[in-house]
Chains A and B, each alone.
Chain A
C-alpha cells in the first residue's frame, strides 16, 4: 500500500505529515487528561490535591526530560519504532490506571509511563519529521505541528470532562487508552522513517539532493550543547523566562484551572470548555505571533506577552469570584499568548547562539519550560492542600510572569555588539 501511495500524485511527505499531525494531536489530548481527573480522583479515593498533583508534575517533567533524548532515539532506532513503542506505553499506562488503588500507582503510571510515552513524541517529532521529509515549506510544517501539540492539550477537554462527569473517570481514561491504541496500526502501516527508504526525495528537494549523513553521537551533542549554554547569561535569562512560561501554562492553568473553577462553584464541563476556548484563541495568538516574529524584535514581543499574561493572572482570583464576562476576558487574554511565546523564543535562541546550535540549545530551554510546568503543577496542588485555595498560587504565577517580562527585555545586553538583535525566521527549530 505504501508503495502504491508513494507513487501517487500527492507526495508521500504529506501523508507522513498527516500521520504525525494526528499522532501529536492525540498525544497532546492524552497529556491534558489529568486536569479533568483531579476532582473525580479526590472524590473516589480521598487523595489530596498535593498527592494527585505530584503525578502530574512527574508526567510533565518526564515529558520535558525525554525531549532532548527522544531525538537521539529517533536517529538511532527510527521514528516509526519510537512512535509505536511510545503509543503502546501510553495505552498500557492509561489503561492500567482504571485498576489503581494507591497514589504511588498513579505516580508510576501517569507520571513515569505516560510521561515518557508522550515525551518521546513531542516537539522533537515535529522537528525530525519536518527536517527529514521537507525541504520546502519546512517552517509551515513545524508551525502547524506545534499548534497541534499545544491546542490538542485543550480542545479535547470538554469531551473528556463530559465523559468523566457522566460516565465516570474510568471511561474517560479508557477512551484515551483506546485512542492511543487506535493510532498504533495507522503508524505501523503508514509511517516511514526516511524518504530514501521508499525511493523518494524530501518534498521540494532538488534533483541532486543527497540525504545528509548522521553527524556524531546525538546524546553527546545534546550534552555539549548544554555545556555551551550554561556559560552564557542569555541562556539563563531565556531558560528562566521559559521556566516561568511552562509554570504558568501547562503546569498551573492547564492542570489546575478546572479544579480551581470547581472550587468556585463552576461546573467541571464548563471549566473544561473554558480551557478549550483558551486553545482556540491560542491558535490565533500563535499564528499572529509567528507573523510578528518575522517583523518585530523578539525581545519586545515576549516582553509584552509575559507582561500581559502576568496582569491577567493577577486578575484571575478576582475573575473567578466575579461574573462569567470577566472570566471570559481572562480566557481571551490568556489564550492569545498561551504558546505565542514559542516563535519569538526560538528566533531569539537562533539569534544569540547561531543556526547550527539553536536546535539543541532550544531543546534545553524547552526542558526548562517543562521543569517549570512540573514544578508549578505540583506546587499548586501542594499549596491548595496547605492553604485551602488557589489565590496565592495564581497571584504568585502572575508575579513570576512580570519577572519574566523584566528578564527578557534585558536579554542580549551582555552579548550586544557581537550578535545583532535582529529577528530571523524561526525555521531552525
Chain B
C-alpha cells in the first residue's frame, strides 16, 4: 500500500510544472489602456498554468452590465473570454484563478474605450492580502494549522510509540484517532477557506488542483484511520503505518510553494522533511505529556527534530526570499521573520525542559507556519 501511495504522489508530481502562486503577468487589453473601439475579448497571462475559479473572468461595461459572453477559455497560462459591447467609457475586468499549487488568487484591472470615465461599481479588492480576501486567508491558515496539528497527533504519536516507547497503550491509540479526526476536519475548513478567499461557492473551487489536494488530504486521514484499526487487530505494524506518513507529507508538497528552477520532487522532499520533523517533535511532545514516560529518550528525538527543522527551514527560506530585505518589504518575509524568532524561543523552552510551555509555544509556531504557507512567497 505504501508503494501505491508513493505512486499516487509521484504521478501527481510528474504532471505539474514548478512555480508558486499564479501572478498576473500581463493582459490584452493592458491594464489602464485606452482603446478606440471596444475589444472582442479579454486575455490574461499568468506566471503559471491556472484553472478558472467560478466564472474565471468577469467583464463589466461602463454601465455596469456584464458583457463577457460564453465560457472562459483556459489554455495553459492564458485565460480568455469573449466580450460583446459597444459602450464607451471605462471597463472593469475581474478574475479569479487557482494555480497548479492549489493557491487561489484574484484581482481586477480596468481599461477604457474612447474617453476614460468612472469605474463601474463592483466589489473592491483593495483590502486583499496576498491576492485573496483577508477572511479567506485566515480560514486557509486555520485549515493548514488543523492539518499540521492532525499530522502531529496522528503520525507524531505513532513516531513516539515506535521511537521512544514501543509498548501498546490505549491512551496513545486514542491520540492517533484524535489526529485522524483533526486531519479530516482540516479539509472542509480548507475548502471553506478557498471559497471565501475568492468569494465563490465551494463547488466552484473543487474542479481544480485544489480539489485533488483536498481528496488526497482526506485520503491520508482515512488511511491512517483504517491502518489504526489494522494495527489494533494485528497488535503490530506501527512502523509500517508510520512509513505511510512519508507519502502523506510528500503529497502536501502538491499544495505547497514550488521553487523556481528546482525539480518538484526535490522541493516536495525538502518540505516533507521539514513537516515530518515538526510532526515527530510536536506529536511526540503531546504523547509524552499524556504518558509521562520516556523523557530522556524523547529529549534526544526532539533535539534531532529541532536540528532537522533548522537546516531544512533555512534552505526553504533561502529558496523563497529574493534578498534579506524581503523580510521587511513583503508579508511573507515578515511572517517568516516572526516565525524564526518564535521557533528559536520554543527551542530554548524545550532545552529548559518546560514541556507544557513548549507545547503551547509550538502551537503558536504552527499557526505562523500555516499563515506563511498561505501567503505568496516573494520568489
What is the interface of chain A, defined by CB distance below 8 A to chain B? 299-300, 303-304, 307-308, 310-312, 314-315, 317-319, 321-322, 326, 329, 333, 386-389, 391-392, 395-396, 398-399, 402-403, 405-406, 409-410
The answer to whether the Cβ of B1 comes within 8 Å of any Cβ in the partner chain is yes
Sample of 16 further A-B pairs with CB below 8 A, known A395-B215, A396-B215: A303-B226, A307-B1, A308-B1, A311-B4, A314-B215, A318-B15, A329-B11, A387-B206, A392-B211, A395-B211, A395-B219, A399-B219, A402-B223, A403-B225, A406-B222, A410-B229
**B residues in contact with A308, CB < 8 Å:** 1, 4
Known: A307-B1, A391-B212, A406-B225. A399 touches B218 (CB 8 A): yes
Residue B337 lies at the interface, judged by CB distance under 8 Å to chain A: no
Partner of B219 from the list A314, A333, A392, A410 (CB cut-off 8 Å) is A314
- Of the candidates B4, B215, B222, the one whose C-beta lies within 8 Å of that of A312 is B4
Assembled-state Cα–Cα distance A329/B206 (Å): 25
- Cα-based distance from A62 to B216 in the complex (angstroms): 34
In the complex, whether B5 has a CB less than 8 A from a CB of chain A is: yes
Closest B-chain residue to A396, C-beta based?
A: B215
Query: B residues within 8 A CB of A409?
Result: 226, 229-230, 233
CB contact under 8 A between A402 and B226, given known A308-B4, A319-B11: yes
Query: Which of chain B's residues have a CB closer than 8 A to the CB of A304?
Result: 1
Q: Which residues of A contact B291 (CB under 8 A)?
A: none
Q: Tell me how far the C-beta of A299 lies from the nearest C-beta in chain B, rounded to whole angstroms.
A: 8
CB of B63 within 8 Å of the partner chain? no
Q: How far is the CA of A7 from the CA of B1 in the complex (A)?
A: 54
B7 at the interface (CB under 8 A from A): yes
Most B CB atoms within 10 A — which of A333, A386, A387, A402? A402
A residues within 8 A CB of B203? 386-387
Q: A311-B1, A311-B4, A333-B4 are in contact. Are A318 and B212 (CB under 8 A)?
A: yes
Residues A318 and B222 in contact in the complex (CB < 8 Å), given A311-B4, A398-B215, A409-B233: no
Taking a contact as CB atoms under 8 Å apart, the answer to whether A389 and B207 are in contact is yes
Chain A neighbourhood of B14, CB < 8 A: 322
Nearest residue, chain B, Cβ from A405: B226
A333 to B8, CA, bound (A): 12
B86 contacts chain A at the CB level, 8 A cutoff: no
Contacts of A300 in B (CB 8 A): 230
> Nearest-CB distance from B233 to chain A (Å)?
5
A399 engages B215 (CB within 8 Å): yes
Instruction: Please measure, in the bound complex, the distance between the C-alpha atom of A405 and the C-alpha atom of B228, giving whole angstroms.
Output: 11
**Closest CB in chain A relative to B167 CB, distance in Å:** 22
Query: How far, in whole Å, are A402 and B218 apart by their CA atoms in the complex?
Result: 10
Neighbouring A residues of B11 by C-beta, 8 Å:
315, 318-319, 322, 326, 329
Instruction: Check B12 for interface membership: any CB of A closer than 8 A.
Output: yes
A188 and B225 alpha carbons, distance in the complex (Å) = 53
Complex CA–CA separation, A99 to B4 (angstroms): 47
Is the pair B222, A399 in contact by a Cβ cutoff of 8 Å?
yes
Taking A304-B1, A307-B1, A389-B207 as contacts, is the C-beta distance between A317 and B223 under 8 angstroms?
no
Across-interface contacts of A319 in B (CB, < 8 A): 11
Contact with A along B230-267 (1 / 0, CB 8 A): 10010000000000000000000000000000000000
Give chain A nearest CB distance to B127 CB in angstroms.
30
Closest to B71 in A: A388
10 example contacts (A-B, Cβ-Cβ < 8 A) are as follows A299-B233, A314-B215, A315-B7, A317-B212, A391-B207, A391-B211, A391-B215, A402-B222, A403-B226, A406-B229
Contact in complex: B230, A329 (CB < 8 Å): no
- Taking a contact as CB atoms under 8 Å apart, the answer to whether A391 and B15 are in contact is no
With A and B bound together, what is the CA distance between A388 and B206 in angstroms?
A: 10
How far apart are the CA atoms of A352 and B215 in the complex, in Å?
34
Chain B residues, Cβ within 8 Å of A329: 7, 11
Q: Is the CB of A307 within 8 A of B8?
A: no
> Smallest CB-CB separation from B228: which chain A residue?
A406
Q: Which of B1, B214, B215, B226 has the most CB of A within 10 A?
A: B226
- Set of chain B residues within 8 Å of A405, measured between Cβ atoms: 222, 226
Chain B window 1-28, contacts with chain A (Cβ cutoff 8 Å), 1 for yes, 0 for no: 1001101100110110000000000000
Residues of B within 8 A of A307 (CB): 1, 223, 226
| CB neighbours of A387 from chain B (8 A) | 203, 206-207
Q: How far is the CA of A190 from the CA of B250 in the complex (A)?
A: 61
**What is the chain A residue whose CB lies nearest that of B223?**
A402
Task: Flag if A311 contacts B219 (CB, 8 Å).
Answer: yes
Q: Point out the residues of chain A lying under 8 angstroms from B225, CB to CB.
A: 402-403, 406
- Smallest Cβ-Cβ distance to A406: which chain B residue: B226
